Structure formats: C-alpha cells, structure tokens
Amino acid sequence: MLKLPRVGTALNSFMHVSVIGHGMLELAIIYKTTNAYGVTIHKMQNYEIYSDDRHPNIQNIKANIDSLLSQALSTNAVIKITINEARNYVWVGGEQYSGRLVL
C-alpha cells in the first residue's frame, strides 16, 4: 500500500512511472479516487527527485524508489511518501531525497 501527501487513504492500487532526464528522476504516480458525486476519477502526483551529497547516483535512487513502490503493490507493507516543501525534501519509505512535488 502507498500513502501519498494530500490523499486521505492509503492506496492499494496505483501505477508508477520513473524516468531519468536532465540529471533528475521524474516520478509519476497515477491512482484512482472517487469524487463527491461517486464517480471514479484518475489522479496523478508528479515528483522531481535530484541527486545530492547523500545520494550522488541517480540510477541508484531510481532503483531504490522503484523497488519500494513495487513492494507497496505486492505486499501489505505501507510505503509512505512525504514532502517538505519549504526545504525541498521528499521522503520515500523513510529515505530522504532532495526534490519536490510538482503541482
């Protein structure tokens, strides 16, 4: 299961795409939700994650995040993504990365 910022419940069904481009990881998470009228709609959250002194290799960042998101789909473990907009940090499964939620 996956817990996202600004989403009320943990998701047990979602898709994710991660692409390395321009020295950063672009991560998109697509999920379904039900609106106030009972209609199922698709939503997406986009993240930009950068290499830094803690995580200098963008390929390793991608492999780690892809692995965590695969675990979230295939096990009962809850993987949480949190953000600190003021300091440009993104945490994925407890691991801190430089990055941001793209609105």
How many whole angstroms separate alpha carbon 84 and alpha carbon 5? 10
pTM here is 0.91
Q: What does the pLDDT read at residue 76?
A: 87
Q: Residue 27: what pLDDT?
A: 98
Interatomic CA distance for residues 49 and 69, integer angstroms? 15
Give the Cα separation of 99 and 75 in Å (integer): 26
Q: Are 93 and 63 in contact (CB under 8 A)?
A: no
Q: Could you report the per-residue pLDDT of 4-48, keeping only the tens digit for each?
A: 999 988 999 999 999 999 889 999 999 999 999 999 999 999 999
pLDDT (0 to 100) of residue 103 = 85
Q: How far apart are CA 63 and CA 89, in angstroms?
A: 18
> How many whole angstroms separate alpha carbon 83 and alpha carbon 6?
10
Nearest Cα to Cα of residue 48 among 83, 1, 13, 6: 83
pLDDT in tens, 51-64: 999 999 999 999 99
What are the structural domain ranges in the chain? 2-102
User: Where are the extended beta strands (E) located within 11-86?
Assistant: 14-21, 24-34, 40-50, 79-84
